[in-house]
Copies of this chain bind each other. A is one copy, B any other.
């Protein structure tokens, strides 16, 4: 197929680009390079199946032009920094909902019938240790990022039902791996590169979530796209277990070969306002479809830490 990957020069988008090219698909990466970078896709530039178009999803004309003639769109562009929503309250609305609207409207006008959208656990809000499956309600997001994801899901559902579009929605756990620009693993690595004797952890360290490596995540995405045939196909994408932040700190210090790091906690039960300290997603639906996460959360975090450390050291 001919796939358009919006945000394909970003973290997860670039992994998906590699995956789709490896499977013999034609890929157009459409990215404004605001948080994406050419470094993540330059290894594909000589591939005849690959094309890069620099463009902004908030520009409707450019987006419509890029969408035309494609078989499927993967909307991987997003605000990469969830906590920024505290001060810039329109960020997730603009980069999430308005960019998605431009894509959906472009698809409608050009008769492009398939879209994948990466939603997130944020749609479930803060429900403690409740394990949420895809039918869970009520959905009360506690961050503007989570709200934007739910708003996008709603918009996708309406376009699918009104204009015969088919959609796959992955509600993602925390994704880690090479090429990340944000997130707890990279944050710890950077802090410890600056000061190897001390690590300050946001919250009390007991926040616990599922961590999935980007390579597992793109496998899961391709599985649901290839194997589910409904009009709107929504799947939780999470690993089999969870990991707390203090354990992540231990893995990262271990990968860096550091001893005697003094760990301090900022306190409180969460990293920032809008963070959800404990996330438990029920993965029965995707497991039934045949998915098996190849790594535990610890393994995913450890591999990501090694990859990101290598990247930091090559800068």
Contact = CB atoms under 8 A, between A and B. Distances in A.
Contacts of A234: 138
A161 B142 contact: yes
A177 B234 CA distance: 39
Contacts of A125: 157, 161
Chief secondary structure at chain A's binding surface: helix
A140 interface: yes
Interface residues of A, number: 41
- Report how many copies the assembly holds: 2
Contacts of A138: 134-135, 137, 234
A207 interface: no
A101 interface: yes
A93 interface: yes
A178 to B, nearest CB: 31
A226 to B, nearest CB: 22
A121 interface: no
A139 interface: yes
Nearest to A158: B147
Interface in A122-159: 123, 125-126, 134-144, 146-148, 150-151, 154-155, 157-159
Contacts of A158: 85, 141-144, 146-147, 274
Contacts of A140: 157, 161, 232
Interface string A268-311: 00000110000000000000000000000000000000000000
Contacts of A143: 158, 161-162
B97 A151 contact: yes
A89 interface: yes
Contact of A157 (B86, B104, B147, B159): B147
Interface of A: 85-86, 89-90, 93, 97-98, 101, 104-105, 108, 123, 125-126, 134-144, 146-148, 150-151, 154-155, 157-159, 161-162, 232, 234, 273-274
20 contacts: A93-B101, A123-B154, A125-B157, A125-B161, A135-B137, A135-B138, A136-B137, A139-B154, A140-B157, A140-B161, A140-B232, A142-B158, A143-B158, A144-B155, A144-B162, A147-B157, A151-B154, A151-B155, A154-B154, A162-B273
Given A85-B162, A151-B151, 11 more contacts: A89-B101, A89-B159, A93-B155, A137-B137, A140-B157, A141-B157, A147-B158, A148-B154, A150-B150, A161-B274, A162-B273
